[in-house]
Structure 1
Amino acid sequence: MLSVQQLHVKGRRTDLLPPTSLQAKRGELLLVAGDRQDQRTALALTLSGRMKPTGGRIAWDGTRPIKELRLASALVDSPGVNEPEQHLSVRDLVTEDLALIPRRYRGALLSKPWLKVNSFEDIADLWTEQLPPGRRMELLTALALANPHTDLLVVDSPDRHSADPADWLPRLEQLADDGGRPLAVVATVTALPPLWRGPAAVIGNSIHHPQGTPALAKVIELRLETEDAK
């Protein structure tokens, strides 16, 4: 389980990440809403152990060393950090990403057989910028999970590619609900999908749990604004 208490990161003038508390359990998808891209990315980087927080506490499976968190987590499609370069073909992207897996876990992973086994041969020759949002999400999460030691998946702003949650939400739910490999999955989003009733949080506050624990007013406002806009 990922446990975060009052995690924050200072910026030049204001907090890059205001104090945020949340929990993400294995077998669950947690959505964290925030209207600023820089704050969503700062949270994603911190939750995956790629950025050192200024204050607060973060623990993965009861351990607090950032190194352990980084080894157990994968950061997916973070803008300006590790989002695929537009000039890359899918085949080249796969080659590059598989090369980043530690050698002791990599074995003989090569792009051509990997694309075939994971059913991505149909998009192998496309540029990454040509990928439909749904296939992009499937590809990038599959690459993140090519490392067998990835137990925490942190996806940065998948809704920036499509306003339709159907293009990214089902894939993340499927991964979290995989009994063969129980993952903790966290996705930062601009706003919660209208029909979402699963675990959720807002950057700056811990707010909601599906079993009905108290929700803060901000999540109610987010949902009302989303419903009013329909």
Structure 2
Amino acid sequence: MEIHVQSVGIDGAHGPLLHPTSLRVRTGELALVAGEPGTGHTAFALALGGRMKPSVGQVLVDGKPDDAALRRLVAIVDAPDVSSPEEALTLGAVIGEELAFASQPANRKAVADWLLAHDAREHANVRFESVPAEVRTRLLVEVATQRPGTEALVLVLPDRHGAGPHTWWTTATKAAENGLAVVVLCSLTSARLLDVTAARIGDREQPETLAFMQVQEEGQ
């Protein structure tokens, strides 16, 4: 699968929400997209996932414009005020909601078993806002991969929770190694700390994404 964002821009009531931005990401690839605060991280995520109509440009999935396919294929993870969980809920309640959304068993035992399997049962009754940043991001990514039909993940601003970027970068890398197309939206500071060539919000010409599946296959 390939998602191609072609010079997508989004206008708001008081000015641009997103300046024209391009990106191409395929199955097993990981793209880091960096920008200053307020430059359209969430708007870009929503456009890439078929949830917001661009004012200019288009998003193609396997060469065709198909918002319904994008909504089915792309999971938008932890987008502020869109898909981020309610901070006052316990971790167990958040995971229960996410499992139900993924059409998985979501009763108390199922949640406890899931958290145990993902090394997080000790946090089950902790308010979500108090769960360590690296744990919350890892669990949100892992539970999102269980949604039926998910082939791509867009992780939005994981650095806003305060953990060092290498923690969530490891999580994103594993998702790409497992065969998903992964896009992580972050600050310019995080991109510099990772020392990874990042795409930029507002740019039409972007660097190649990191092809983990390809590297893995070539090494066999």
Using the size of structure 1 for normalisation, the TM-score is 0.82
Structure 2 residue 182 is the aligned partner of structure 1 residue 188: no
Query: Which residue in 2 is equivalent to 1:39?
Result: 40
Q: Report matched runs for 1:35-114 at 5 Å.
A: 35-37=36-38, 39-101=40-102, 103=103, 106=104, 110-114=110-114
Unaligned ranges ≥5, structure 1: 212-230
Query: Which residue in 1 is equivalent to 2:124?
Result: 124
Structure 2 residue 207 is the aligned partner of structure 1 residue 208: yes
Residues 69-117 of structure 1: CA distance to partner in whole angstroms, max 9, x if unpaired?
010010111111121111100111111111222x4xx367732222223
Give the share of equivalent positions with the same residue, in percent: 36
CA-atom RMSD in angstroms: 2.0
Separation in structure 2 between the aligned mates of residue 5 and residue 32 of structure 1, nearest angstrom: 15
Structure 2 residue 7 is the aligned partner of structure 1 residue 10: no
Aligned residues: 204
User: Letter of the aligned partner of 1:207 in structure 2?
Assistant: Q
SS at match of 2:32: strand
Query: Which residue in 2 is equivalent to 1:223?
Result: none
Query: Structure 2 vs 1, CA of residues 63 and 34 (structure 1 numbering), >3 Å: closer, same or farther?
Result: same
Higher mean displacement: 189-198 or 133-142:
189-198
Unaligned ranges ≥5, structure 2: 211-220
Separation in structure 1 between the aligned mates of residue 70 and residue 30 of structure 2, nearest angstrom: 18
SS at match of 1:207: coil
Separation in structure 2 between the aligned mates of residue 63 and residue 207 of structure 1, nearest angstrom: 20
Shift of 1:38: 5.6
Shift of 1:30: 0.4
Residues 170-209 of structure 1: CA distance to partner in whole angstroms, max 9, x if unpaired?
111111122xxx11100111111334335x3111113322
Shift of 1:134: 0.8
Shift of 1:163: 5.8
Conserved? CA contact 1:197–1:210, under 8 Å: no
Conserved? CA contact 1:75–1:154, under 8 Å: yes
Separation in structure 1 between the aligned mates of residue 82 and residue 39 of structure 2, nearest angstrom: 11
Separation in structure 2 between the aligned mates of residue 75 and residue 37 of structure 1, nearest angstrom: 18
Higher mean displacement: 112-121 or 34-43:
112-121
Conserved? CA contact 1:165–1:193, under 8 Å: no
